[in-house]
A = this chain, B = another copy of it.
């Protein structure tokens, strides 16, 4: 299996897969006689695992930890759960921040006429008036 094929199967670009290898997130792929990377069906599962974890917002460093736990058959599910809960907390913080920013902007836009006159409460607020 060439990198292009596993790329299509996993939805990750070839660039991304090479990048994951370069930072040691996945082990160096075997090489064919011509120097091409050779992937096994097993590698599809690993890359999909990574892809899903990324979709859930885990950083590559966190993914590294998840991969370790995944391969550790003696792991404690508490460790995984702790990571997930911490991640949820971070997401909640981020949502809070965004909500606050959004509310401020909504208030400002409501007070802005939005016509061809220059008076603008949004700019006035940014200017600290």
User: Chain copies in the assembly?
Assistant: 2
Chain A residues near B (Cβ < 8 Å): 45, 48-49, 52-53, 55-57, 66, 69-70, 72-78, 80-82, 84-85, 87-88, 91-92, 94-95, 98-99, 101-102, 104-106, 108-109, 112-120, 122-123, 125-128
B126 touches A53 (CB 8 A): yes
A105 adjacent to B52 (CB under 8 Å): no
Is A77 touching B108 in the complex (CB atoms < 8 A)?
no
Q: Is the CB of A122 within 8 A of B80?
A: yes
Asked if residues A80 and B49 are in contact (CB atoms below 8 Å), the reply is no
A92 B84 Cβ-Cβ under 8 A? no
A116 contacts B76, CB within 8 Å?
yes
